[in-house]
Amino acid sequence: MLKFIKNWILPIAIITGALMHKWVIQLSFLTPYLLFIMLLLTFCKISFKDIRFHSAHIWLLLIQLIGSITLYYALLPFGAVIAQGAMLCVLMPTATAAAIVTGLLGGSVGFLTAYALFCNLAVAVAAPVYFSLTGLSEALSFTQSVWYMSQKIFPILVLPLLLALVLRYLTPKIHKAILAVPQLTFYLWIVALIIVMGNITVELLHPNSSDYGIVAGLIIISLFLCCIQFLVGRRIGKHYGDTISAGQGLGQKNTILAIWMAHNYLHPLTAIAPAGYILWQNIINSYQLYRKRKKDVVNSV
């Protein structure tokens, strides 16, 4: 039964969040706390002495940081919401579950784990600046806007890392107890996904948010950018001898974090882009895992 739930958890969470949106939206305040705990659990699993910076990390970071803001200004003539959605699809950091998928595909977990760490730190610095550049906070100056958003975003992305270090070296018993519950991150992800899907459903049902042309555009853009980032990441990885890890690092995103950012700092409809990305990246990952299992069966014969 548990295996069935895991295999179908994506559609189950989406449908649950959509159908129960009136109740689920009341839990929206929990999202940043869930994100914090999920990142804390992820960082607790990292052996920091094994973290190594790789040349490929530079290219992946440049694509995320420079590519996202460049894409925003390139698409701005088509509308601010479309531009913000595209920016978010590229800027959002690597998913906490990417290391697991990378390991299943036969990639380097160490490479991916290191990149996820560097990526989260980079986004913690870049996101407040980029979101301020969208001009949505008209009541604040650029500097005030950056400071305000930094106070909100930086703790969620960086404090879990610092706390993980404290737990590892100052309270090893608590750290060990956390590691003894490896599935906790998975269950927290389910809860967070249900909540954000409830928020998106409410936004789509809102009378002022019935522009389905924009919604369709965001879904199409998320599909295009998802495929492109997996392909570009794999191309960069191939050059450095690690196709799988680089592909997952650039392509598999922390969509829950992106949806939360969209609802808090961008136009709410922007959240449709990372919501669509959830579906596309899971389809790609499922296909990759299917090919890997098929290849292993052939090799074992």
Interval 201-258: pLDDT, tens: 877 776 554 577 888 899 999 999 999 999 999 999 999 888 999 999 999 998 888 8
Phi and psi, residue 284, nearest 5°: -65, -45
Asked if residues 243 and 110 have their Cβ atoms less than 8 Å apart, the reply is: no
Q: Report pLDDT for 236.
A: 94
Phi, psi of 253 (to 5 degrees): -110, 155
In the numeric block, which tokens belong to residue 243?
């196709």
Can you give the pLDDT at residue 5?
61
| Helices assigned H by DSSP within the chain | 2-7, 9-19, 21-24, 31-44, 55-75, 80-91, 98-105, 109-133, 142-170, 172-179, 184-205, 212-239, 243-251, 255-265, 272-300
Task: Name every residue whose Cβ is closer than 8 Å to that of residue 59 and which is 6 or more positions away in sequence.
Answer: 236
Q: What is the pLDDT of residue 135?
A: 62
List of the chain residues with pLDDT < 70: 1-8, 10, 50, 135-142, 206-210, 298-301
